Amino acid sequence: MRRHLITAVLVLAVVALFAAPLLIDPGSEFAGTDSQATELIEESDPGYEPWFSSVFSPGSAEVESGLFALQAALGGAVLGYVLGRLRGRRGAERTTAPSSAPPPAEP
């Protein structure tokens, strides 16, 4: 019970941490720091010319956010698969071997 409570508190803390800025400052654009840094360079070092451009740029914000979502989905899928496997394995160990003997070591 206590374990579940701690989990819930941690999840709520993460949600609150990232929801708070949206509530505090709803008018803000929340521009990315990466692009802010690029703007800062253009301001403070106006003579600097980027000498290479991206080999491929997503054509629009929709395509870009789609690709970001794809990246997150791939990561989330793998992470979920691993946690599911580990949990399933533990369940299987519990039912087949109550003594939970470790697997024999490789010679």
Partner 1 sequence: MHIAEGMLPAPHALGWTLAAAPFVVHGARQVVKEVREHPESTLLLGAAGAFTFVLSAIKLPSVTGSSSHPTGTGLGAVLFRPPVMALLGTVVLLFQALLLAHGGLTTLGANAFSMAVVGPWAGYAAYRLTRRLGGGLLPAVFAAMAVSDLATYGTTALQLAWAHPDAESGFVGAAVKFLGVFAVTQVPLAIGEGFLGVLLFRVLTVNARPELERLGVLTPEPVPDAEPQR
* Contacting residues toward partner 1, per CB under 8 A: 3, 6-7, 10-11, 13-14, 17-18, 20-22, 24-25, 28-38, 40-41, 44-45, 48, 50-58, 64, 67-69, 71-72, 74-79, 81-83, 85-87, 89-90, 94, 99-100, 102-103
What does the alpha-carbon distance between residue 80 and residue 87 come to, in Å, rounded to a whole number?
Answer: 10
CB 6 to partner 1: min, Å: 8
CB 62 to partner 1: min, Å: 13
**DSSP 8-state code for residue 28:** -
CB 100 to partner 1: min, Å: 6
Q: Give 54 or 96: the residue with its C-beta nearer to partner 1.
A: 54
Decide if 63 contacts 69 (C-beta within 8 A). Answer: no
What does the alpha-carbon distance between residue 21 and residue 27 come to, in Å, rounded to a whole number?
Answer: 10
Decide if 81 contacts 87 (C-beta within 8 A). Answer: no
Could you tell me which residues come within 8 angstroms of residue 64 by beta carbon, excluding any fewer than 6 positions away? 58
CB 104 to partner 1: min, Å: 12
